[in-house]
């Protein structure tokens, strides 16, 4: 760990939930670097232009910067005019000289293809954006993954990017493509906003969600939880991306001092697909306290919550909740919490290169040593051995 004070700039659009998760990850890393000072240069990604004579707002003020930008004209040169090392928390510039950390498209493809198989949907359409490398890479990865299940992928790319679901739904090309889509189908979209646009369009053309079109978004943002119907979505690993960005930037700053070589890009696996109404349908109207508790554990179990927090969420006295939960499910709420955390830890160990301490944090375990003891007791091996075996099974 460096003993040199650092001032680090953050250039992300915090109006986006994914970007806020990235920011949380940077803050996690900064908490481990007491000599880091952070400066916020948040921006609106929809109103950004990079004129040739402009200087970035962090110029002369920071030692390095974490940015989140796409392939806009002039953006790479603009960032370089800032005169300090930079790391991009997005994949659109992964083929340039700017080090990038981004969601592994293969992990998104795996989750989406597995969802198509589970839903028994033979027809799958990807709705993306024409001028996005990230969108194109996801499409190709999904094609490869679906081919393993003897499924083919249809595609439609919006000619212009938008975060407005109603504007997306108004695209005539999208309407034409979806009206010709064989049913029942799964529509995999670039983002939750795109998924919401598809659902709005479904209503206007008389298609039922999810009977005719099951719809899957990406990011698990606020709109996925607030939209009607609620949107199934692949949760972006934004916090892990932010942490990895900060770690890469730290290495870049150290390499500048020691004259070591360059830094490779980092891909972070998405591990969670949250099923909601847009692909699973509406749940029965009657939902018990235990149903709500199970959903709360599934969605928040890796955030360090306790059984008491679950009982408070469903507004039940702790002892009454414990008795009712065991009566309805045949197990304790504590065991269910541990199951959710174990599955998350297994996914992270098998699909990422994150250190064990970081896996423990993201899976909701108190420490790496507790995770190791838990693995040894339940699985029979250490987390490191589990990772080695999982990678060996996949030929890695």
pLDDT in tens, 74-116: 888 999 999 999 999 988 888 888 999 999 999 999 999 999 9
C-alpha dihedral (361, 363, 365, 370), degrees to nearest 10:
-100
Q: How far apart are CA 231 and CA 274, in angstroms?
A: 9
Buried b (16+ CB within 10 A) or exposed e, 85-116: bbbbbbbbbbeeebbbbbbbbbbbbbbbbebb
- Please name the fold of domain 6-103+238-268: Rossmann fold (3.40.50)
- Ranking 13-22, 150-159, 313-322 by mean pLDDT, the lowest is 13-22
pLDDT in tens, 303-359: 889 999 999 998 888 888 898 898 888 889 999 999 999 999 998 898 888 899 999
Quote the tokens at residue 336.
């269910």
Tell me how crowded residue 193 is: count the other CB atoms within 10 A of its CB. Answer: 24
pLDDT in tens, 241-272: 999 999 999 999 987 644 444 557 899 999 88
Q: How far apart are CA 65 and CA 307, in angstroms?
A: 40
Q: Is there a contact between 190 and 215 (Cβ–Cβ < 8 Å)? A: no
Domain extent listing, the chain: 6-103+238-268, 105-235, 284-391
**H or E stretch including 189?**
strand 185-189
User: What's the CATH number of domain 284-391, 1.10.10.60, 3.30.470.20, 3.30.413.10, 1.10.1740.10?
Assistant: 1.10.10.60
Q: State residue 255's pLDDT score.
A: 79
Q: Give the CA angle between residues 329, 275, 207 to the nearest 5°.
A: 130
Quick check: bond before 229 cis, omega within 30?
yes
| Mean pLDDT score, 1-18 | 83
Q: State residue 260's pLDDT score.
A: 44
Please say if the pLDDT value at position 193 is more than 80.
yes
pLDDT in tens, 270-291: 988 999 999 988 764 455 788 8
pLDDT category, 154, cuts 50, 70, 90? very high
Q: Is there a contact between 178 and 147 (Cβ–Cβ < 8 Å)? A: no
Domain 6-103+238-268 and domain 284-391, same fold? Reply is: no
Q: State residue 53's pLDDT score.
A: 66
| Mean pLDDT score, 130-145 | 91
Task: Kindly report the average pLDDT of the chain as a whole number.
Answer: 89
Please say if the pLDDT value at position 49 is more than 60.
no
User: What's the CATH number of domain 105-235, 3.40.50.2300, 3.40.630.10, 3.90.1310.10, 3.40.50.300?
Assistant: 3.40.50.2300
Q: State residue 261's pLDDT score.
A: 44
Question: Percentage of the chain with pLDDT > 90?
Answer: 62
| Mean pLDDT score, 132-153 | 92
Please say if the pLDDT value at position 177 is more than 90.
yes
| Mean pLDDT score, 41-59 | 71
Q: Provide the 3-class DSSP secondary structure of residue 38.
A: strand
């Amino acid at each position: 760990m460096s003993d040199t004070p650092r001032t680090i700039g953050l250039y992300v659009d915090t109006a986006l939930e994914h970007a806020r998760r990235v920011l949380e990850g940077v803050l996690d890393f900064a908490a481990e670097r007491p000599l880091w000072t952070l400066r916020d240069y948040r921006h609106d990604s929809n109103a950004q232009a990079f004129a040739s004579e402009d200087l970035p707002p962090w110029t002369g003020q920071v030692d390095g910067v974490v940015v989140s930008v796409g392939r806009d004209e002039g953006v790479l040169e603009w960032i370089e005019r800032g005169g300090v090392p930079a790391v991009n928390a997005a994949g659109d510039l992964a083929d340039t000289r700017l080090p990038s950390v981004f969601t592994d498209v293969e992990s998104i493809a795996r989750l989406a293809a597995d969802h198509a198989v589970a839903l028994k949907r033979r027809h799958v359409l990807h709705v993306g954006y024409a001028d996005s490398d990230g969108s194109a890479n996801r499409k190709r990865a999904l094609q490869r993954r679906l081919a393993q299940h003897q499924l083919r992928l249809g595609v439609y790319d919006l000619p212009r990017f938008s975060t407005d679901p109603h504007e997306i739904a108004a695209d005539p090309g999208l309407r034409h493509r979806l009206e010709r889509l064989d049913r029942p189908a799964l529509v995999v979209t670039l983002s939750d906003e795109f998924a919401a646009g598809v659902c709005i369009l479904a209503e206007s053309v008389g298609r039922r969600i999810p009977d005719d079109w099951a719809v899957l978004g990406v990011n698990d943002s606020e709109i996925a939880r607030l939209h009607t119907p609620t949107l199934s979505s692949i949760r972006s690993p934004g916090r892990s991306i932010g942490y990895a960005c900060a770690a890469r930037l730290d290495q870049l700053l150290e390499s500048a001092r020691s004259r070591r070589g360059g830094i490779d890009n980092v891909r972070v696996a998405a591990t969670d697909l949250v099923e909601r109404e847009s692909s699973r349908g509406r749940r029965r109207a009657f939902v018990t306290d235990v149903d709500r508790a199970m959903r709360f554990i599934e969605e928040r179990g890796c955030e360090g919550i306790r059984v008491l927090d679950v009982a408070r969420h469903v507004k039940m006295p702790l002892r009454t909740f414990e008795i009712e939960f065991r009566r309805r499910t045949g197990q304790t709420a504590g065991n269910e919490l541990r199951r959710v955390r174990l599955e998350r830890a297994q996914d992270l160990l098998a699909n990422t290169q994150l250190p064990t301490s970081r896996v423990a944090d993201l899976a909701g375990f108190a420490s790496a040593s507790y995770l190791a003891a838990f693995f040894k007791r339940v699985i029979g091996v250490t987390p490191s051995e589990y990772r080695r075996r999982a990678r060996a099974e996949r030929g890695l």
